[in-house]
């Protein structure tokens, strides 16, 4: 399932590609000139599981903010620049771990030689990210998949010729089918790790579903070394959580307890929704050492049987009682009020050991 034959590219202390985990990337909403807000946003994203943070660097004010922020951060930063390679060069000099440029928005070519120099001497990684919405002008009349691929081929060749090979590639579309086709071709055309994502997926459920389908299919094909879920939201928290859910659903990473819960029906014997919420709250900051599944089921008639693959579970029972079970076998009966506490008392040692 994993495409492990990519080159391994450093990103600060982290490595991307090969046998390394598929890292979760998120992008900041704040302008870097708002240093305090930006730092707070990054901290929250890290708490949600973000492992690589991308920041737009649109102007000199952003560089100043970056200079103040960088010493306080322990997460690899990618400075995202459009039309201003000079800003990318300055960001590299400030110690960001990678510069992201788009072949369609390079701007003045005269800065390319200097960028090459800085990337080589500062050991900075280059993320080349093409996008169907910003293809270089001469590729605009070509088939979009071909255009993305060829524009990347051209720029990769340019950097390789200059000795820059610490490269991570991405080529994004707003369309699921197109995204899959592009990445399938990228994965057989280049040896570099791939950052995968569906660009401008939208907001809420629609955006989550579109991203999950596109990224799920790619990851199932073994394609992708770090992922970003691009959602319209005022913070990067949701996109980080969704990225983790996608990876966990495919068993590619585990960070949180996997919760199995029934949709409930007329047979339910209590409030499954609030129990699930409470379980999430209580286990949110737990350091999980191995994958673990906990089931919350609405009734004891079907609960333990339907969730027998769960390591631990609660099935609600009549009289405000709850059955605790492990691998489908009933362990004890407790009151619904104390069910979660009793379950976690038993389960936690095996989760965090």
Residues lying near ligand SF4 in the complex (CB under 6 A): 262-265, 267-268, 297-299, 301-303, 306
| Backbone phi and psi for residue 15, each to the nearest 5 degrees, phi listed first | -115, 140
User: Looking at beta carbons only, is 38 or 262 nearer to ligand SF4?
Assistant: 262
Between the alpha carbon of residue 336 and those of residues 85, 86, 274, 287, the distances in Å are 60, 62, 12, 26
What is the enclosing helix (H) or strand (E) of 101? Answer: strand 98-101
| Token pair for 149 | 């691929």
Q: What is the DSSP letter of 107?
A: B
User: Looking at beta carbons only, is 244 or 325 nearer to ligand SF4?
Assistant: 325
Coil, helix or strand for 333? strand
Coil, helix or strand for 220? helix
User: Looking at beta carbons only, is 141 or 265 nearer to ligand SF4?
Assistant: 265
CB of 300 to ligand SF4, least distance (A): 8
User: Looking at beta carbons only, is 46 or 264 nearer to ligand SF4?
Assistant: 264
CB of 338 to ligand SF4, least distance (A): 20
User: Looking at beta carbons only, is 52 or 316 nearer to ligand SF4?
Assistant: 316
CB of 335 to ligand SF4, least distance (A): 18
| Token pair for 121 | 């001497």
User: Looking at beta carbons only, is 268 or 282 nearer to ligand SF4?
Assistant: 268
| Token pair for 249 | 């659903």
CB of 307 to ligand SF4, least distance (A): 8
CB of 276 to ligand SF4, least distance (A): 12
User: Looking at beta carbons only, is 94 or 297 nearer to ligand SF4?
Assistant: 297
- Spacing of C-alpha 101 from chain mean position: 19
Q: How large is the C-alpha radius of gyration of the chain?
A: 23
User: Looking at beta carbons only, is 191 or 305 nearer to ligand SF4?
Assistant: 305
CB of 316 to ligand SF4, least distance (A): 8
| Alpha-carbon gap, residue 74 to 46, rounded angstroms | 10
| Alpha-carbon gap, residue 183 to 142, rounded angstroms | 18
**How many of the other CB atoms lie within 10 Å of CB of 331?**
16
**How many of the other CB atoms lie within 10 Å of CB of 89?**
22
CB of 340 to ligand SF4, least distance (A): 17
Closest-by-Cβ residue to ligand SF4 is 298
Q: What is the DSSP letter of 199?
A: T
CB of 301 to ligand SF4, least distance (A): 6
Span between the terminal Cα atoms of the chain, in Å: 28
């Amino acid at each position: 399932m994993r495409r492990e034959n990519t080159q391994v590219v450093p990103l600060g202390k982290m490595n991307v590609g090969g046998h390394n985990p598929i890292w979760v990337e998120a992008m900041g909403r704040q302008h870097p000139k708002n240093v305090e807000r930006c730092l707070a946003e990054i901290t929250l994203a890290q708490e949600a599981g973000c492992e690589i943070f991308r920041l737009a660097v649109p102007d000199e004010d952003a560089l100043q903010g970056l200079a103040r922020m960088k010493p306080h951060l322990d997460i690899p930063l990618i400075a995202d620049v459009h039309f201003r390679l000079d800003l990318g060069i300055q960001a590299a000099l400030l110690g960001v771990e990678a510069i992201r440029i788009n072949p369609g928005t390079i701007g003045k070519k005269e800065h390319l030689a200097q960028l090459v120099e800085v990337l080589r001497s500062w050991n900075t990684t280059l993320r080349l990210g093409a996008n169907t919405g910003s293809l270089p002008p001469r590729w605009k009349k070509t088939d979009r998949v071909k255009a993305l691929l060829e524009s990347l081929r051209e720029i990769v060749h340019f950097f390789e010729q200059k000795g820059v090979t610490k490269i991570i590639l991405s080529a994004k579309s707003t369309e699921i089918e197109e995204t899959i086709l592009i990445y399938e071709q990228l994965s057989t055309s280049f040896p570099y790790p791939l950052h995968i994502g569906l660009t401008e997926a939208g907001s809420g459920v629609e955006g989550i579903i579109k991203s999950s389908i596109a990224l799920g299919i790619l990851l199932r094909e073994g394609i992708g070394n770090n992922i970003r879920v691009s959602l319209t939201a005022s913070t990067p928290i949701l996109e980080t959580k969704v990225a983790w859910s996608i990876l966990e659903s495919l068993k590619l990473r585990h960070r949180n307890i996997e919760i199995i819960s029934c949709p409930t029906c007329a047979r339910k014997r209590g409030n499954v929704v609030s129990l699930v919420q409470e379980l999430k709250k209580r286990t949110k900051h737990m350091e999980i050492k191995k994958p673990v599944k906990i089931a919350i089921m609405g009734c004891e008639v079907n609960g333990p049987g339907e969730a027998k693959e769960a390591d631990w579970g609660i099935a609600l029972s009549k009289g405000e009682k709850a059955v605790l079970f492990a691998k489908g076998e009933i362990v004890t009966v407790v009151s619904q009020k104390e069910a979660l506490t009793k379950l976690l008392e038993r389960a936690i040692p095996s989760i965090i050991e």
